[in-house]
Amino acid sequence: MNKGFIDVVVGLQWGDEGKGKNIDELLSSKLYFGVARFHGGANAGHTLKLGSITFIGHIVPSGCLHKNIELYIGNGVVVDVMSLVSEMRQLKDVGFNITKRLYISDRAKLVSYLHPFLDQADEHRRNKLGTKVGSTSRGIGPAYSDVRARRALLIGDVQLPDFEQKEKILSEFHMNLLNLYRDKYGFEIPEEKIKEARAKWIEAVKELKKLQICDVSSLVLKRLSEGKNILAEGAQGLMLDMDFGDYPNVTSSNVLPVNVCLGLGVPHTYIRDIYGVMKAYTTKVGGGNFPSRIKDEALEKAFQKAGNEFGATTGRPRMCGWIDMFALRRAISLSGVNKIFINKADICLSDKIKVVTGYKSGTKVFKEFPLYLDQVTDVVTEEIPGWGNKNFGISDKKKVSKELASYLDYIKSKLSDLDVKIVSVGTGPDRNHFFNWDK
Question: Hey, which residues are catalytic here?
Answer: 16, 46
What phi, psi does 70 have (nearest 5°)?
-75, 150
Q: Which is nearer to ligand IMP, 213 or 256 (CB)?
A: 256
Q: Is 138 in the site for ligand IMP (CB under 6 A)?
A: yes
Q: Is 62 in the site for ligand IMP (CB under 6 A)?
A: no
- 18 within 8 A of 344, measured Cβ to Cβ: yes
**Applying CB under 6 A, which of residues 136, 229, 282, 335 lies at the interface with ligand IMP?**
136
Q: Is 116 in the site for ligand IMP (CB under 6 A)?
A: no
Amino acid at 178: L
Region of 309 please: left (phi>0), alpha (psi -120 to 50) or beta. beta
Q: Is 43 in the site for ligand IMP (CB under 6 A)?
A: yes
Residues numbered 291 to 350 that lie near ligand IMP (CB under 6 A) are none
**Applying CB under 6 A, which of residues 74, 116, 141, 265 lies at the interface with ligand IMP?**
141
Task: Round to whole Å and give the CA distance between 44 and 432.
Answer: 24
Q: How far is the CB of 247 from ligand IMP (least distance, A)?
A: 11
Q: Is 135 in the site for ligand IMP (CB under 6 A)?
A: yes
Strand partners, 424: 341, 436
Half-sphere exposure of 273 (CA within 13 A, CB side): 19
Task: Round to whole Å and give the CA distance between 259 and 243.
Answer: 12
Residue number, nearest CB to ligand IMP: 286
Task: Round to whole Å and give the CA distance between 212 and 102.
Answer: 7
| DSSP string over 29-90 | TT-EEEEEE-SB-TT--EEEEETTEEEEESSSPTTTTSTT-EEEE-TTBEE-HHHHHHHHHH
Residues numbered 355 to 394 that lie near ligand IMP (CB under 6 A) are none
Residues numbered 393 to 422 that lie near ligand IMP (CB under 6 A) are none
Q: Is 240 in the site for ligand IMP (CB under 6 A)?
A: yes
| DSSP string over 307-322 | TT-B-TTT-PBPEEE-
Please report the beta strands in 184-285, taking only residues with DSSP state E, as ranges in sequence order. Answer: 212-214, 229-233, 271-279, 282-284
Q: How far is the CB of 332 from ligand IMP (least distance, A)?
A: 19
Q: Which is nearer to ligand IMP, 134 or 429 (CB)?
A: 134
**Applying CB under 6 A, which of residues 6, 9, 36, 44 lies at the interface with ligand IMP?**
44
**Applying CB under 6 A, which of residues 156, 286, 307, 321 lies at the interface with ligand IMP?**
286
**Applying CB under 6 A, which of residues 4, 12, 16, 238 lies at the interface with ligand IMP?**
16
**Applying CB under 6 A, which of residues 45, 257, 307, 426 lies at the interface with ligand IMP?**
45
Only segment of 24-32, 47-55, 247-255, 335-343 that touches ligand IMP (CB under 6 A): 247-255
Count of positions on this chain that bind ligand IMP (CB under 6 A)? 22
DSSP 370: -
Q: Which is nearer to ligand IMP, 104 or 140 (CB)?
A: 140
Amino acid at 363: T
Residues in touch with ligand IMP (CB under 6 A): 14-16, 43-45, 133-136, 138, 140-141, 235-236, 240, 249, 251-252, 285-287
